[in-house]
Structure 1
Amino acid sequence: MNAFQRLIMHSGVITSTLLAGCAVGPDYRAPQAVTPAQWRTIHAASASTPTTLVDGHADLQQWWTRLNDPLLDALVNEAVAGNLDVATAAARVREARGVLREAGGALYPSLNATGGFTRFGAGSSAVTTGSTASTTTSTLGSSGPTNLFQAGFDASWEIDIFGANRRALEAARDSYDAAQWDRRTALLTLIGDVTTRYVQARGYQARLALARETAASQQETARLTRVRYQAGATSGLDAANASGEAQSTLATIPALEASYAQTVHSLAVLTGRTPDALIERMDAPANATPPVPAPALPVPRGVPADTLLARPDVRAAERRYAQYTARVGQAEAARYPRVTLTGTLSTSGTQLGDLARHSSIGWSIGPSVTIPLFDAGRLKAAVDIADAQREQYLIAYRSAVLTALTDVENASVSLAREAERTQSLQLSADAYGEAAKLAHARYESGSTGFLDVLTADRSLYSAQDTLIQSRVSVTTDYIALNKALGGGWDGDTDASVR
């Protein structure tokens, strides 16, 4: 029986011992999350108010496409491909995958090849030491230099009797899963931020268009009032009030322009570009202000238990709890003996070709045991630390569950109530529009004073501006609800991550 056969035979014995061993420490059990059977029902304030929420199955796949805005869809795709936070999350996935492969390799034997060459002359005594064998050769009295070639193999295998390496592999696998969920969290956050910024930008554009249109109308009214004043048909007070009202509306435009520019700059950075990269694409053509994207209502929410499965932050928190459960076992196993099987095979000869034919062969195989006897409580403290970390991640998981449930309920209330508010604001704006027409007609006929016109125009502009802001809020609440439900990207971002 040669050396390799003996090594294989001993490996089989050790494998049987390993299979009989057990992994110390707690086995992972998924924590139970207490969730309500269904979401709190949001009742409409009146029969005329449209239903905004239903309990049907939540369709979360590419939810932003239901806003029916091709430019928004394109920007989301560009952001997923170019955002730096998503790229960082993808790199962390690759890092975790490498750690997983490294941890898996610790379960298998390692094999190294060694080689050496020594040349020594006559009248000398040489001791040659390779990495696997020691050979002493005396050359006293030899007539010339002598060559010595050496080659060999050495193998080692830590027998994972108490499961230290298996627990490390469990922890690495759970960490890899958590990194993947973190990446999905980054995508969910990114898509929500891109969509929100886009809707806000469209809202600022609509408000700017309204302010400019209103200011132009008020300036025309001020001009006509001055003409009437010069003709003696009205007082100087009316002319001054008309001019002041027009200037007051014009004063709101610079602030809106600044807010619009800042929002577009932020949107460009989210897509991984410089702040000014989207100005031209977002600018509306003349007389064609894009509408504020509006969601299709009602929105199905599903059930709370489904949300916990869809929310990537909750899934990541659960995987980290599993990871640190495995680390408790890893720390516990360090308190037990470690058994390592080592083996060497070496051959030497004076000619290179002799290594395979006429060479001296040496081998060795045997186990070694390391038993921790005294460490002043260091290993026990490591177990206590790991157990405390595990408890922290259990608390973090429970906190993530409560946060997820709260996010959905808050977004549901906001969306439902804002939709009601929008409907009332629309009726208010319609009424003020009619009042403004009547005020102008009565003023032209001399039946009322200019103050009534001024009040009606101011009320109309305020109502229309507030209505635009409410429509933006409805859409942003819709975005927040889809984020809270766990909706996000369902495609690939980086081929190296798959």
Structure 2
Amino acid sequence: MPLPRPIARAAVRSVPRRMAASLMVLALSGCAVGPDFKSPEPQAPEAWSAWRSGDDSLRTAIATNEALPADWWRAFGDPVLDRLQQRAVDASPDLLSATLRFAQARMQRRMVEAQRGPQIDLNGEINRQRLSENGASVRLIDVLLPSGASRDEIVSLMAEPFTLYQAGFDLSWEIDLWGRIRRSVEASDADVSREAALLDLARLSLASDVARNYFELRTTQTQIRLTREDISTLSDQLQLLDAQVRGGSINHLGLEQQRAELAALKAQLPPLLAQEAASANQIGLLVGERPGALRDELQPLPVESQARLPDLALGLPSELARRRPDIRAAEARLHNATASIGVAQADLYPSIRLGARFGFESFASSEFTDWGSRSWSIGPSLNLPLFDRGRRKAVVQLRELQQQEAAIAFQRTVLQAWQEIDDALNGYAAEQQQARELRSKVQAARQAYQLARARYDGGATDFLPVLDTQRSYLQASHDLAASEGRLNTRFVTVNKALGNVSSTSQSQAVGK
């Protein structure tokens, strides 16, 4: 017995609702295939001295376990360096490119995330049409036309051109049964983390390059100042010796040797001036300026205004392993490779997409909005992969191999990081010791020179001991200046090896 008409309609209408509810429950209860990512724990020593390959005498560089400030160059208290760092951030094309790649990763993540929900489209169409007099619809006339009816009149009427009005909503939603979309979002999140780490790495490299070139410039300017002071001192001595030679108190040997020393000293000045210009130009390139634009800003500092080396505080080794941008980037790459396995495995299983459409269709514009012109459809579509000659399985194996490669790359990155740290700390400690010994050497050489000069002025010796001690004193002074300059750049190297960069740097750069 057929159901009453109202009850039958209600039953039919409830079918799509029950189907949608069932699919919703199935989607929510579906599992994400593929391995779950577990963040690897980078190996780190309990103390800095545990993983050091240098001699025990080089393990004195660590002062405390307090972390260095993110803007470590400010510890020098040099306002010129601070301004150059900010200008480099504003002008660097490398940093801008890294910022854009980070923004692209975020947009890509939003695109993938959008697959979670339904896609709704509104469409409308107006077409002028004419049906074929010999088409499939005309065949129905032959089947349904009662005998005696005029076929030609009906065909002619159906073939007359008409305008068709259509408008409606289309909805589609992929049921994420196997977690393909969830794994895709997870992989996109890893990409965002990787680009954020690379952005930090770009900022760190830029800050290190600016500081390194700045200290090289200041070291060269110190060498130029010392050379000019030495030239002035030796010139005065040469005039004095020349007067003594003309007076007959000494012979020409000491005078000519002093002239040779003065000429050798003057010969050192042009290469230093060229090196100063090259360092200034390199800084100008980093901050986006033409050659010569920073001439006034990079004038030599007074001796009392020279930057002083701050204390070195490294923080805990375990914190360092999480802070270095290259380690964070390698971990994010491993995370992406792990999530991509789940995406590939999900393609091995059936996929279901729920589709629905509601709209109006009419060939008469006056009846387009009538309720009788409505049309709708709803139902799922199933895609069941059967045979592709192993393509999908090969993709899964490829993603697994890529994950293994990313895991090896992560381990190598960690080992390389500790190697760079050990090299930087050994170099910094060695340079500290060398600078300390050179200070003692300069003090001793100065005293020897003063003593030889006093003995010469008193007539106890000739001028040769003065020349020897003078040469030693000048060389020691230049060696000390070079060592102190290298010590500054060693400090820069240590900070770069430690990956010391602000955790909010990428958000600040993207906001520019």
| Offset of residue 495 of structure 1 | 5.8
Residue 92 (structure 1) aligns with: 101
Amino acid at match of 2:180: A
Q: Supply the distance in 2 between the matched residues of 1:127 and 1:358 (Cα, whole angstroms).
A: 28
- Which of 218, 231, 247 is the aligned partner of 2:247? 231
Q: Is 2:414 the counterpart of 1:405?
A: no
| Offset of residue 309 of structure 1 | 1.7
- Which of 188, 193, 196 is the aligned partner of 1:172? 188
Q: Percent of aligned pairs with the same residue?
A: 30
TM-score normalised by length of structure 1? 0.89
CA contact (8 A) 2:362 2:368 kept: yes
Q: Is 2:443 the counterpart of 1:426?
A: no
| Offset of residue 291 of structure 1 | 5.1
Moved more, 455-464 or 112-121: 112-121
Q: Is 2:23 the counterpart of 1:14?
A: yes
For 2:360, what is the secondary structure of its paired residue? strand
Cα gap change, 1:262 to 1:345, in 2 (>3 Å): same
Moved more, 429-438 or 401-410: 401-410
Cα gap change, 1:142 to 1:319, in 2 (>3 Å): closer
Q: Supply the distance in 1 between the matched residues of 2:41 and 2:190 (Cα, whole angstroms).
A: 18
Q: Is 2:303 the counterpart of 1:294?
A: no
Consecutive unaligned residues of structure 2, counting only runs of 5 or more, are 1-8, 138-153
User: Hey, which of these two has a bigger chunk of helix by percent?
Assistant: 2
For 1:401, what is the secondary structure of its paired residue? helix
| Offset of residue 353 of structure 1 | 5.4
For 1:116, what is the secondary structure of its paired residue? strand
Q: Is 2:267 the counterpart of 1:251?
A: yes
For 2:289, what is the secondary structure of its paired residue? coil
Q: Supply the distance in 2 between the matched residues of 1:496 and 1:244 (Cα, whole angstroms).
A: 56
CA contact (8 A) 1:170 1:326 kept: yes
Q: Is 2:79 the counterpart of 1:70?
A: yes
Q: Supply the distance in 2 between the matched residues of 1:74 and 1:149 (Cα, whole angstroms).
A: 66
Q: Is 2:178 the counterpart of 1:162?
A: yes
Q: Supply the distance in 1 between the matched residues of 2:220 and 2:400 (Cα, whole angstroms).
A: 52
| Offset of residue 262 of structure 1 | 1.2
TM-score normalised by length of structure 2? 0.87
Q: Supply the distance in 1 between the matched residues of 2:76 and 2:209 (Cα, whole angstroms).
A: 15
Cα gap change, 1:33 to 1:229, in 2 (>3 Å): same
Query: After the TM superposition, which residues 81-480 of structure 1 pair with which residues of structure 2 at under 5 Å, given as runs?
Result: 81-119=90-128, 140-141=156-157, 146-284=162-300, 288-289=302-303, 292-297=306-311, 299-352=312-365, 354-480=367-493
Residue 131 (structure 1) aligns with: none
| Offset of residue 7 of structure 1 | 5.7
| Offset of residue 357 of structure 1 | 2.3
CA contact (8 A) 2:218 2:300 kept: no
Q: Supply the distance in 1 between the matched residues of 2:55 and 2:291 (Cα, whole angstroms).
A: 42
Consecutive unaligned residues of structure 1, counting only runs of 5 or more, are 129-137
- Deviation digits for residues 34-75 of structure 1, max 9, x if unmatched? 2211110799999xx996423422233322111111111111
Q: Supply the distance in 2 between the matched residues of 1:45 and 1:239 (Cα, whole angstroms).
A: 49
Cα gap change, 1:338 to 1:315, in 2 (>3 Å): same
Q: Is 2:485 the counterpart of 1:487?
A: no
- Deviation digits for residues 229-276 of structure 1, max 9, x if unmatched? 222222222221111100101111111111121112111212232343
| Offset of residue 145 of structure 1 | 6.8
| Offset of residue 220 of structure 1 | 2.0
- Deviation digits for residues 171-219 of structure 1, max 9, x if unmatched? 0111001111111111111111111111111111101000111012112
CA contact (8 A) 2:367 2:373 kept: no
Moved more, 440-449 or 301-310: 440-449
CA contact (8 A) 1:324 1:393 kept: yes
Moved more, 473-482 or 22-31: 473-482
| Offset of residue 123 of structure 1 | 11
Q: What CA RMSD, in Å, does the superposition of the two structures yield over aligned residues?
A: 3.0
CA contact (8 A) 1:192 1:483 kept: yes
CA contact (8 A) 1:317 1:393 kept: yes
Amino acid at match of 2:293: A
CA contact (8 A) 1:201 1:260 kept: yes
Cα gap change, 1:122 to 1:164, in 2 (>3 Å): closer
Greater C-alpha radius of gyration: 2
Amino acid at match of 1:180: A
Amino acid at match of 2:353: T
For 2:49, what is the secondary structure of its paired residue? coil
Q: Supply the distance in 2 between the matched residues of 1:325 and 1:317 (Cα, whole angstroms).
A: 12
Q: Supply the distance in 2 between the matched residues of 1:31 and 1:330 (Cα, whole angstroms).
A: 21
Residue 38 (structure 2) aligns with: 29
Cα gap change, 1:245 to 1:110, in 2 (>3 Å): same
| Offset of residue 451 of structure 1 | 1.5
For 1:40, what is the secondary structure of its paired residue? helix
Count of aligned positions:
484
Q: Supply the distance in 1 between the matched residues of 2:29 and 2:233 (Cα, whole angstroms).
A: 89
| Offset of residue 467 of structure 1 | 0.5
| Offset of residue 362 of structure 1 | 2.0
For 1:80, what is the secondary structure of its paired residue? helix
